[in-house]
Chain A
């Protein structure tokens, strides 16, 4: 098992290099650039100023030289400095933003697990029943609804009309003066809507997957024999069928990392949450190349780690699956 993990980690290096190369080419070959964002509307900016800025950021070099410089810096885990006026290290900016994005995603993932597994099991057992139909339509509604639209409706309802929940940010104005429990409660109130929303819109994948696994397992011979020896149906469903059906769900975890990260752009923009999605959006709009490259690389890295954890977890949980 250890050898397998080491091999997978070594394999991650060429994948990351491939991803960074594609991103780098796409970003740098697109028309326009960070210099024109700042100077196009500025009548005082002469061609000379532009050239100086380009040289300052190293953008005057041929693209392969620029990429090589970036890559050799990355090899030393140096993400470079942001192009934004504050010029702070990209690594620092990302490190500030990552915890809140991960918190929201982990919480909503937990919520999805808690709801999707029983929902999928029950839908499969009562396939075609009214419950199955209603839960199918409900999870597909979550999957089909424009996230920001639902977010707006909920903000209007709970934030503006009922005034139950704050509508933006992650802390109240008096956050600093609250005690430890007060701080926790305040943070929870701010994160409640985003987490519920991410959970609802992400429910479909997991619960449908659980449902079809369950349908598949129920047809197996060992279920027939469990029934034949007279076990009560409850035991057959929860002991024999569910345990086997839930295992492959672990693999979905790893695969959903890119979707969760992508969704965070929308959530964080609409709820003004200072996370990685919002940072990426700002970076794209101001063409902050080092920042964009840093976030894409980190995102890909998180995805690779997610996939690895999922595969290892699956192998540990199911003795039939052993990596060669």
Chain B
């Protein structure tokens, strides 16, 4: 157990030495705080409509201005952070679980199971994914649950391939053979020996996946089939902003920046994790 703690400490030390990854991590940490304690960041109700102050520019009362229904933009963005995090994490959670199961089955069993599953992966990889997402969500009516499910169901192939490759190489290693010789069952080998060793690349893929899911939601919002109002999401605030861009810049600037920084944060953190777990490429 001590040995693995050392590995994690090494990993953290390398990660913390990378300024871009630290900056990315800080943005995400901040976002978690906002999502967990929204009332610390705004005292306004995100759903309160105020027809007397429609499309007001930023002021002391409304630091980021108001939208077309007179709602406070800061409050909507603070509560929208929850939606963005939820979409990102649940969609990627679904994709990771499916990818793990399929990748492990294919890699561990090999043979015909592997061949059939990988052909299925090939088929899924040939779909123009965004077209598929678009059609599925438009037909099933856009709701946050459907959006998370569809993004998850169309995004697992990368993880599956990765897990399969890791499993194929790990299961031939001596320590797995040793565990098997000592009478370890399949479940024990998978959960104690293969998964922990395949964790790092999965973590990288998941971090980058969250970034992709948040961007996909905003693109769907732009096309009118993202998370639907009155639930605030950065994507749909930005979409409202699009209609008033000529005279209400704050309505598109702030949510756009929020999406940009969040997605950038995840991408830089993901890249930092990749570098930190692959010390071969570091330290030169």
> Which residues of B are found within 8 Å of A251, using beta-carbon distances?
none
Does A265 lie within 8 Å of B130, measured CB to CB?
Answer: yes
Q: Which of A27-35, A53-61, A109-117, A225-233 contacts B (4 or more CB under 8 A)?
A: A27-35
Does B134 lie within 8 Å of A281, measured CB to CB?
Answer: yes
Q: Which of A65-73, A176-184, A235-243, A255-263 contacts B (4 or more CB under 8 A)?
A: A255-263
Partner of B215, one of A27, A146, A152, A258: A146
Chain A min CB distance to B138 (Å): 5
Taking the complex as formed, is B61 at the interface, i.e. its CB lies under 8 A from any CB of chain A? no
Taking the complex as formed, is B189 at the interface, i.e. its CB lies under 8 A from any CB of chain A? no
> Which residues of B are found within 8 Å of A284, using beta-carbon distances?
134-135, 138-139
Does A137 lie within 8 Å of B20, measured CB to CB?
Answer: yes
Closest to A32 in B: B139
Q: Which of B69-77, B176-184, B262-270 contacts A (4 or more CB under 8 A)?
A: B262-270
Bound form: Cα–Cα A149–B263 in Å: 14
Does B264 lie within 8 Å of A300, measured CB to CB?
Answer: no
Bound form: Cα–Cα A22–B211 in Å: 27
Partner of B223, one of A22, A269, A299, A307: A269
Does B238 lie within 8 Å of A149, measured CB to CB?
Answer: yes
Does A265 lie within 8 Å of B131, measured CB to CB?
Answer: yes
Does A133 lie within 8 Å of B20, measured CB to CB?
Answer: yes
Interface set, chain A 22-57, CB cutoff 8 A to B: 22-23, 26-27, 30-32
Interface set, chain A 281-301, CB cutoff 8 A to B: 281, 284-285, 287, 292, 295-296, 299-300
Bound form: Cα–Cα A258–B126 in Å: 7
The listed residue with most B CB atoms (<10 A of its CB), out of A14, A140, A266, is A140
Does A26 lie within 8 Å of B215, measured CB to CB?
Answer: no
Bound form: Cα–Cα A292–B211 in Å: 28
Taking the complex as formed, is B132 at the interface, i.e. its CB lies under 8 A from any CB of chain A? yes
Partner of B128, one of A14, A156, A300: A300
Taking the complex as formed, is A314 at the interface, i.e. its CB lies under 8 A from any CB of chain B? no
> Which residues of B are found within 8 Å of A219, using beta-carbon distances?
280
Does B128 lie within 8 Å of A31, measured CB to CB?
Answer: no
Bound form: Cα–Cα A292–B134 in Å: 11
Closest to A17 in B: B123
> Which residues of B are found within 8 Å of A133, using beta-carbon distances?
19-20
Does B245 lie within 8 Å of A262, measured CB to CB?
Answer: no
Closest to A216 in B: B281
Taking the complex as formed, is B136 at the interface, i.e. its CB lies under 8 A from any CB of chain A? yes
Chain B min CB distance to A134 (Å): 11
Interface set, chain A 183-197, CB cutoff 8 A to B: none
Q: Report the interface size for chain A: residues with CB under 8 A from the other chain.
A: 57
Taking the complex as formed, is B271 at the interface, i.e. its CB lies under 8 A from any CB of chain A? yes
Taking the complex as formed, is A84 at the interface, i.e. its CB lies under 8 A from any CB of chain B? no
> Which residues of B are found within 8 Å of A144, using beta-carbon distances?
211, 215, 260, 263-264, 267
Taking the complex as formed, is A82 at the interface, i.e. its CB lies under 8 A from any CB of chain B? no
Closest to A260 in B: B128
Q: Mark B115-146, 1 if CB is under 8 A from A, else 0.
A: 00001101101111111101110111100000
Partner of A266, one of B122, B123, B219: B219
Taking the complex as formed, is B9 at the interface, i.e. its CB lies under 8 A from any CB of chain A? no
Does A262 lie within 8 Å of B238, measured CB to CB?
Answer: no
> Which residues of B are found within 8 Å of A261, using beta-carbon distances?
128, 130-131
Does A141 lie within 8 Å of B264, measured CB to CB?
Answer: yes
A152-B242, A265-B134, A284-B134 are known contacts. Are A15 and B219 too (CB-CB below 8 A)?
Answer: no
Bound form: Cα–Cα A266–B179 in Å: 52
Closest to A280 in B: B131
Interface set, chain A 149-165, CB cutoff 8 A to B: 149, 152-153, 156, 160
Q: Mark B244-284, 1 if CB is under 8 A from A, else 0.
A: 01100000100010011001100110010000000011001
Taking the complex as formed, is B11 at the interface, i.e. its CB lies under 8 A from any CB of chain A? no
Does A215 lie within 8 Å of B281, measured CB to CB?
Answer: yes
Closest to B239 in A: A148
Bound form: Cα–Cα A141–B211 in Å: 12
Q: Top 9 A-B pairs ranked by shortest CB distance?
A: A262-B130, A30-B139, A144-B263, A299-B128, A144-B264, A149-B256, A261-B128, A18-B123, A148-B222
Q: What are 25 A-B residue pairs whose CB atoms fall within 8 Å in the complex?
A: A15-B119, A19-B127, A22-B123, A22-B127, A23-B135, A26-B136, A27-B139, A30-B136, A31-B140, A32-B139, A136-B271, A137-B264, A143-B263, A144-B211, A148-B242, A149-B259, A216-B281, A261-B131, A262-B128, A265-B223, A280-B131, A284-B134, A292-B135, A296-B128, A300-B128
Contact surface of B with A, Cβ cutoff 8 Å: 19-20, 119-120, 122-123, 125-132, 134-136, 138-141, 211, 215, 218-219, 222-223, 235, 238, 242, 245-246, 252, 256, 259-260, 263-264, 267-268, 271, 280-281, 284
A-B contact sample (5 more), CB < 8 A, given A144-B267, A284-B138: A23-B135, A31-B140, A146-B218, A149-B218, A296-B132
